Structure 1
Amino acid sequence: MPLIQGFSIDTIVNLAKATVLNPLALIVFLGYKAREADGWPERTGLVTTAYAFLSIYATTWLSNRWRNGLIPQRRLNSKTWPNEIVLVTGGAQGIAKSLSEKLAAKGANVAALDIVDFKSSHPNIKAYKCDISNYDDLKRIRSQIEKDFGGHVTMVANVAGLNNKSLILDLTPERVSRMIDVNLKSHFWTAMLFLPAMVKAKRGHFMSVASTMGFVGICHQSDYVATKHALVGMHESLHYEMQKMYKTPKVRMSTAIIGHTKTGLFEDFDVGPLGRFLGPKLEPSDVADQMLDAFESQDGKMILTPFMNNLTPSIKAHPWFTRDLIQAAAGGDGSYPSRPSASQLASSA
């Protein structure tokens, strides 16, 4: 069991970033060493480490600015948020519900969609029953949103998703089709229906929630992994289409690459003590905060949480024996209780 409940690698990283690895602390340290040496500080291990982390911070900043333009846009505020009409899918619960409420609290106009009937007490949120996997139903809702809010959707948060949690031989054609319809096709439908107005306005924000499994595959998740890999690739293409084809770089593309979260999709997902240390289960509200910050900053981003998602893409560059050790430590394989049936394992001889 964990040493401390909730203690994880993210606890260590966040503490370090707030103290000894804080950029200001590193600059003060290097300044002190320079004064002590009356010139450039001697290259000790600590000095080299300080230079290395400052380089990482600088590279990350420059990368974000290069992607979004060297001159940042002004953050949205209490005067500008009311001009935004934000579409949020899956708005009845979980991350989407939390995000809708946070957006509304900022003053945004929120159109929250879900396949079930639901209501919101916040006056800035209008709830719509909609099957987002159905293009015609979503098109009908678009017309209703424009009528209700008096304008076009300026931001989209594709949050809704399914998780079958099944080994491939336990899946049915109907379940696979439904997974692809909700977890992938719906993102194409929202792009095709809501991006045209953003392109004409030359600004907007289109965001989708992907997953750690957009980078790696694990047992019980072949259909889920396939849709999340596809989403990561889709957003890479859309970013370049906005930049180079439509000439609308201020139509931002963001992808939230998140680990397992405290929602119904992962309620019985158990990776074990080491897996929980490396990849702690996320609070929906914390994920919503990071998505809100991307919208508010008006920067396209790849949100990577928990911390290990910053390292996950590199796993494909490892030799298989190293990758298998990492994957075993993470605990994803076998994290769901189902196992192959006796009939599936029976010899045909």
Structure 2
Amino acid sequence: MEAPAYTAGQVYDSFDIDLVIKVMNNTLLSPFFCFLIPVFFMFQGYTTSDLPVLVPFGWVGALAAFWGLKWYSRLYRNQGSLLFGPAALDWGEQIVVVTGGSSGIGELIANTLAVRNVTVVVLDVNPIVTENYNIVYYKCDVSKWEEVEAVSKKIVEELGHPTVLINNAGVVQGKLLIDLSPEDVQQTIGVNTLAHFWTLKAFLPEMIKNKAGHIITVSSVAGLVGMAQMTDYNASKAATISLHESLRYELDKRYLAPEVRTTLLVPGHIQTPLFSTTHFPQNFLFKFFVPSLQPITIAKAVIAALDEQHSRTIYLPFYVNFVPVLRLLPSFLRDFAQWLSYADYAMDGFVKVSGRRQDEGPLVKQEKQTSKAE
């Protein structure tokens, strides 16, 4: 059988800044790898006072200090030990609630966790299509407290108390502020923000009581910086970031339950139906520095966070780490960054695909209306 042929474009599609950083982390930014450089020169007869040995040793020391401080910071946040890691997570004992788990990232996370013999509870307005027997679906509009409260009681009665909550449900309208209807705003804030409050109110008390559990908040880079045609979405995601940070301090200082872990996931653009009609530049440089994420990348990050049992913030892809700095830049540099990232134009011509309400009509009619308007 012949091997599949790949074009140059397909090969370079997977080559981006994140891959470069991953390689560098294991080479030039790894103290273990760099330690071999001065050792090599010493074997060639150089002494510790010679520059070919002294400079690499200085670089190794700086790297060791950086990674050591970063690791200690995580241990401090999670009351960890320098010598012993946490016991392995018993996946078979977990009951995981995934909001918005019938499509997109939520569906992938639910099915991936189900393979690990985890009891997965999917809360969504639409049923999930799956062959995994250990995925249980409950119809629920998570933006409404009454529905979440009623469903949570059923879950506890039928399955037990959830140990992991993944707040993933999301919706985007993609309209300019003046074009947003009251129903648009209510839906965005309800699904993207209020749903987090309702699920936490329903499931967090038992976690605090047992001093165990994990809350994963799926937010967005849109919560860190403003973008045109995304006012309601950005505001809703900014609220989830602030909610996550405040919850962490309440668990630590007021509930005295630091063992309840919280993970904040801040991804950039993900290739899911939610943002399938956005438009980004297709040139190599843009795709190299501002790559879109595959849903599997998010699913892997979520499962890794659960495995590590640490509270942390995850920025994906690499460029998202620098987005919080934009607010500190002079206005002309901030505007340049906005232009470079295409942030204010990506939603131009956007058509809402996921989370359509009855008053919006089916997608086909909406597309016809758009074509007529053009």
TM-score (norm 1): 0.89
Q: Give SS of 2:149's match.
A: helix
C-alpha distance in structure 2 between counterparts of 1:30 and 1:155, whole Å = 47
Q: What's the offset of the Cα at 1:243?
A: 0.3
Is 1:164 the counterpart of 2:173 in the alignment?
Answer: yes
Amino acid at match of 2:185: V
Q: What's the offset of the Cα at 1:178?
A: 0.7
Q: What is residue 57 of structure 1 aligned with on the other side?
A: 67
Structure 1 residues 46 and 112, CA gap change in structure 2 (3 angstroms): same
C-alpha distance in structure 1 between counterparts of 2:286 and 2:63, whole Å = 26
For 1:239-318, what aligned pairs fall within 5 Å after superposition?
239-272=248-281, 273=283, 274-318=285-329
Per-residue CA shift, 1:196-246, capped at 9, x if unaligned? 000000111111101111111111111111011111111100000000000
Q: Give SS of 2:215's match.
A: strand
Is 1:195 the counterpart of 2:208 in the alignment?
Answer: no
Q: What is residue 131 of structure 1 aligned with on the other side?
A: 141
Q: Give SS of 2:241's match.
A: helix
Q: What is residue 102 of structure 2 aligned with on the other side?
A: 92
Pick aligned residue for 2:223 from 214, 218, 225:
214
Amino acid at match of 1:74: A
For 1:99-118, what aligned pairs fall within 5 Å after superposition?
99-118=109-128
Q: What's the offset of the Cα at 1:337?
A: 2.3
Amino acid at match of 1:15: V
Q: What's the offset of the Cα at 1:250?
A: 0.4
Structure 1 residues 50 and 81, CA gap change in structure 2 (3 angstroms): same
Amino acid at match of 2:254: M
Give the gaps of 5 or more residues in structure 2: 1-7, 351-374
Structure 1 residues 320 and 123, CA gap change in structure 2 (3 angstroms): same
Q: What is residue 120 of structure 1 aligned with on the other side?
A: 130
Higher mean C-alpha deviation, range 297-306 or range 47-56: 47-56
Structure 1 residues 123 and 322, CA gap change in structure 2 (3 angstroms): same
Structure 1 residues 47 and 158, CA gap change in structure 2 (3 angstroms): same
Pick aligned residue for 2:86 from 73, 79, 84:
73
Higher mean C-alpha deviation, range 295-304 or range 44-53: 44-53
Q: % of aligned pairs identical?
A: 32
Q: Give SS of 2:131's match.
A: coil
Q: What is residue 13 of structure 1 aligned with on the other side?
A: 21
C-alpha distance in structure 1 between counterparts of 2:174 and 2:314, whole Å = 24
Q: What is residue 333 of structure 1 aligned with on the other side?
A: 344
Structure 1 residues 55 and 214, CA gap change in structure 2 (3 angstroms): farther
Cα RMSD (Å) of the superposition? 2.2
C-alpha distance in structure 1 between counterparts of 2:50 and 2:233, whole Å = 51
Per-residue CA shift, 1:120-163, capped at 9, x if unaligned? 211221112111011111111112212222x2111100011001
C-alpha distance in structure 2 between counterparts of 1:88 and 1:246, whole Å = 24
Q: What's the offset of the Cα at 1:37?
A: 4.6
Q: What is residue 143 of structure 1 aligned with on the other side?
A: 153
Higher mean C-alpha deviation, range 171-180 or range 140-149: 140-149
Structure 1 residues 190 and 37, CA gap change in structure 2 (3 angstroms): farther
Q: Give SS of 1:62's match.
A: helix
C-alpha distance in structure 1 between counterparts of 2:330 and 2:214, whole Å = 38
Q: Give SS of 2:315's match.
A: strand
The 8 Å contact of residues 166 and 338 in structure 1, kept in 2 or not, is answered as no
Q: What's the offset of the Cα at 1:47?
A: 5.3
Whose relative contact order is higher, 1 or 2, with alpha carbons under 8 Å and at least 6 apart?
A: 1
The 8 Å contact of residues 275 and 331 in structure 1, kept in 2 or not, is answered as no
Higher mean C-alpha deviation, range 229-238 or range 67-76: 67-76
Structure 1 residues 321 and 33, CA gap change in structure 2 (3 angstroms): farther
Give the gaps of 5 or more residues in structure 1: 340-349
Structure 1 residues 83 and 4, CA gap change in structure 2 (3 angstroms): same
The 8 Å contact of residues 34 and 41 in structure 1, kept in 2 or not, is answered as no
Structure 1 residues 38 and 253, CA gap change in structure 2 (3 angstroms): same
